[in-house]
Structure 1
Amino acid sequence: MTGTGTGAVQAPPSRTVTGWSGDADYFSFPEHHEFRPEPVVDVLRGRRAGVIFRGMVARDVCAELAARFWDSPDRERRSTEAPSYHLGAYHYHKTTEHYLDESERGAAALDKVLDLPDDPLTTFYTGLAEELAPEGVDVRLARHHGRTASRGLLRSWHGDGRYALDPHEDRSQCTEPRQADFEIQRVVDHEVCALNICLEKGDGGRLLVWNIQPDDASKRRMGLHHTGSPYPTRTLDGIECRWIDVHPGDVYVFNGSHVHAVEPNSDPGTRRTTLAGIFGFIDDGTVVSWT
């Protein structure tokens, strides 16, 4: 179940968006200055909303990854849903086969960009796997009939409205009917965790997280049950929220079942580029990741 933090409280029913909200101990984002997988497990197990690792990735590694992304001939432009440039595959609103086809086609280009001794994706997931191994938990890429999900997604949002990325949550997209055969749908019985590695960012570009995991009634009422996006800002009025500033090299993990958004950069000439993924338990002994 999502929202398993202790001391949970229910959001007042008068709000347009109703659902689960956590108490002060849960709805917090502790900061660390070196990578420690233990706090990530707290997010995975629903004990904390998020965690931030400041400066986990060296600035020169961030700059090199960002440069390789923007120089890649395989970089694509996404003009629908959330406008962005990206390298890697989105599972959003696709059939399982379509997503895995795109994952396979983009694997070589993604591997070429990430081919560094200090690849932060490998560092993160290796550390998480080592932390969970004594509990008998396997950490791996999501798979289907011998095919695997993309291991990462490089992206740069360029929405020019109030948000570069509108308020949304990641749990609903994991119920896409056309992916009913994909094992990632079992994550909705646990916690859907978002991983973001900041590579470059100008002024602004903060993450905004609301202390609400919308219930099915809200999602169905707004027609967002299988998409989770976008939640009109007015429907979130009065709900506790947290602004999180991030800088190149910062790695942040949070419970993606919470409504969240991305602020645009205040200088239109600058870019906000991240390396991202989604992960979560599908059963007591398995954590899978995808994009």
Structure 2
Amino acid sequence: MIGQKEAVRTVTGWRGDANYFTPREYYTFVPEAVLDVLHGRAACVIFRGMVSHDVYSEVARRFWGSPHRRVRGAEAPGYYLGAYTWGKSTAEYLDESEIVNPILEDLLDIPGNPVKEFYDGLSRALAAEGCLVRTAEHRGRRSSIALLRSWHGAGDFALAPHDDDSQCTDPLMADFERTGVVGRPVAALNMCVENHEGGRLVLWNVRPDDESKRRLGVEFTGSPYPVEALEGSDVEYIEIDSGDVYVFNGAHVHAVEPNTDGLQTRTTILGMMGFIDDHTVATWS
């Protein structure tokens, strides 16, 4: 058990300069900007208003009306539709993915499907570099194409400070393709289909080192980081509106603030991605 004095020691790790860490905003979709995150040249890129009102409203309506929507527990309280890897074996995750992919494909089968538009654009940008993007696979079975999630956490954060890099080393999924991303940037994709007042993305300019992760007991989970342990790191508070799409290096500690109007409704389509070799970007959820 980590003692109180040890738990609040400052997290150590890699920090980027201002050019790298300052979020880069665009008012149209620029797929090449996603490559800046995947190649480690930028911490975060945001495409303001990429998803139209009609599209994100319809996705939100279908999500809340779906009989397949599930409740997630204490580690990330809220509702979700899709499959997630946290704390699961490869077989368990792929079993769930096999069930939910047809459901997700049906839910997203609308004009202007934002997931299709994003990955079509990213595919073109990667092709110019001689690379490709595809869902992560294992023995012919593919990962979930996306995860729809609405955070309902209380307190200072709806989603506690965490990193997305640590999970990639989880022994439970040591045979899964995402292990190829270890040592490379792991990119988190979020498409906001619903957000009321508040619900900012909080991004700290630190990618914790292995020593800090072991000390805090988050080596394979990446969650949670005590806020006191992040003192001294630069931090960005990023306003997110419905229709915004953003991609950031999930190895940085990040969190989501709660909505401030009491409605607790911040719903996103999300996915993870990263280079698993020099020419392949794999995606999972």
Q: One-letter code of the match for 1:93?
A: G
1:154-195 CA-to-partner distances (Å, cap 9, x unmatched) read 000000111000000000011110111011011112110000
112, 120, 139: which one pairs with 1:118? 112
Report deviation, 1:125.
0.8
Are the counterparts in 1 of residues 151 and 264 from structure 2 also a CA contact under 8 Å?
no
Let me know the Cα RMSD of the aligned residues.
Answer: 1.1
260, 279, 286: which one pairs with 2:280? 286
Cα distance in structure 2, aligned partners of 1:132 and 1:141: 14
1:196-247 CA-to-partner distances (Å, cap 9, x unmatched) read 0000111000000000000000000111100000000110112110000010
Partner of 2:4: none
154, 157, 162: which one pairs with 1:163? 157
Partner of 1:42: 36
Cα distance in structure 2, aligned partners of 1:140 and 1:196: 17
243, 253, 261: which one pairs with 2:247? 253
Q: One-letter code of the match for 1:228?
A: G
1:117-156 CA-to-partner distances (Å, cap 9, x unmatched) read 2111111111111111122211100000000000110000
SS in 1 for 2:21: coil
Are the counterparts in 2 of residues 76 and 85 from structure 1 also a CA contact under 8 Å?
yes
Q: One-letter code of the match for 1:103?
A: S
Q: One-letter code of the match for 2:135?
A: L
1:2-24 CA-to-partner distances (Å, cap 9, x unmatched) read xxxxxxxxxxxx96200000001
Are the counterparts in 1 of residues 55 and 111 from structure 2 also a CA contact under 8 Å?
no
204, 219, 224: which one pairs with 2:218? 224
**Inter-CA distance 271–278: structure 2 relative to 1 (3 Å threshold):** same
Report deviation, 1:270.
4.5
Q: One-letter code of the match for 1:217?
A: E
Moved more, 280-289 or 102-111: 102-111
Are the counterparts in 2 of residues 168 and 228 from structure 1 also a CA contact under 8 Å?
yes
Note if 1:236 corresponds to 2:227. no
SS in 2 for 1:68: helix
Partner of 2:135: 141
Partner of 1:9: none
Cα distance in structure 2, aligned partners of 1:238 and 1:285: 37
User: What stretches of structure 1 of length at least 5 have no aligned partner?
Assistant: 1-13
Partner of 1:210: 204
User: What stretches of structure 2 of length at least 5 have no aligned partner?
Assistant: 1-7
17, 27, 36: which one pairs with 1:33? 27
Partner of 2:258: 264
Q: One-letter code of the match for 1:26?
A: Y
Are the counterparts in 2 of residues 189 and 282 from structure 1 also a CA contact under 8 Å?
no
Partner of 2:190: 196
Partner of 1:10: none
Cα distance in structure 2, aligned partners of 1:235 and 1:270: 27
- Scaled by the length of structure 2, the TM-score of the pair is 0.96
Cα distance in structure 2, aligned partners of 1:46 and 1:237: 24
Partner of 1:52: 46
Partner of 2:5: none
1:44-100 CA-to-partner distances (Å, cap 9, x unmatched) read 000010100000000111010001000000000011311110000001111000000
Partner of 2:181: 187
Q: One-letter code of the match for 1:94?
A: K
Cα distance in structure 2, aligned partners of 1:78 and 1:190: 29
- Scaled by the length of structure 1, the TM-score of the pair is 0.94
Q: One-letter code of the match for 1:234?
A: E
Cα distance in structure 2, aligned partners of 1:48 and 1:20: 14
Partner of 1:72: 66
Cα distance in structure 2, aligned partners of 1:284 and 1:269: 44
